[in-house]
Amino acid sequence: MKTVIVTPRSLSSGGHPLLERIRSAGYGLVFPAPGVQPTSGQLAAVLGGAVGWLAGVEKIDSGLIAIAKDLKVISRNGTGVDNIDLTAAQAAGIIVRRAEGANARGVAELAFGHILSAARRIPLSAAALRAGMWTREKGFELEGKTLGLVGCGRIGKTVARFALAFGMKVLACDPYPDSSFAPSADFVWADLASVFAAADVLSLHCPPRADGGAIVDAAALDSMKKGAVIVNTARESVVDWQAMRAALDSGKVSWYTVDAFDREPPASFEIPLHPRVIATPHIGGFTDQSIDRATEVAVDNLLASLAECGA
């Protein structure tokens, strides 16, 4: 039987009913690491004979693609494909599909939850009370503050609407700005340097740079307001952690929040254990609604592409 590998952690325990559509189409399902992010070794062990891959955020490099001689389709259950070597996939004739926008609402709501948590110091206050201490740290209100968006696609636009409803001003930078998106006079498209300079809160909704370098590096941090909050629900690598740690320790940045890590769970817990970091375990799209939307689109894409190539 031809097989499809299933690796998203929200699906790989095998219980989502939409996976039955793949079985009903005549494919066997393989779960190399149920409930966790698979290693390269676990993936290599199951790639032989697989024609489809319902993929999560695990790294799919040229070495794995070289092993996957029968693979025809990689269907992501999310938008980002920076974990996939697209050049190697194209050279091997593998179709790569994305579930564009399926988890946008979930990620946007988490990003704004991070913004509120940092602005009102919610995790710090809750942890102090849990430890039996009455510790208060003054926060700030969002009204009149400026939100800077780096990346303003479906997620960024939703975050912008939330911010405008709170009375914030919004500056957004995107390599392909949507001129039709003008939700308020308080929303402005701007260049990256202007976004960094103006932001009281910076929210990142962008892929990593093609060269692997950080977007928020020491120079970017130096250009920002003292006490800014930086929210990262994109990828760990878009921020230079060494520069961020120095900025947190000096007070240049008041709080840094992060939801996605290069390796999950991370090899080191240095970032989430920093006292000025709010870290969550990649839960942006981890809602019933986002999982259902993303899975439906990813399964549709997978089966349609397999049918197109006769696999």
Active site residues: 235, 264, 282
The answer to whether the beta carbons of residues 68 and 50 sit under 8 Å apart is yes
The one-letter code for the residue type at 211 is D
The answer to whether the beta carbons of residues 187 and 211 sit under 8 Å apart is no
Report whether the peptide linkage leading into residue 265 is cis, meaning its omega lies within 30 degrees of zero: yes
Task: Label residue 292 exposed, middle or buried (CB < 10 Å: 0-12, 13-18, 19+).
Answer: middle
The answer to whether the beta carbons of residues 84 and 285 sit under 8 Å apart is no
Dist CA 289 CA 108 (whole Å): 13
Residues 6+ away with beta carbon under 8 Å from 153: 79, 101, 104, 174, 205
* Short-list 212, 216, 270, CA closest to 85: 212
User: What would the two tokens of residue 9 be?
Assistant: 């952690």
User: What would the two tokens of residue 84 be?
Assistant: 């996939």
| Count of C-beta atoms within a 10 Å radius of residue 75 | 24
Sequential DSSP letters for 157-203? HHHHHHHHHTT-EEEEE-SS--TT----TTEEE--HHHHHHH-SEEE
State the DSSP H helix or E strand holding residue 68, giving kind and residue range, or none if neither.
none
- Measure Cα distances from 187 to 2, 55, 254 in Å: 50, 35, 24
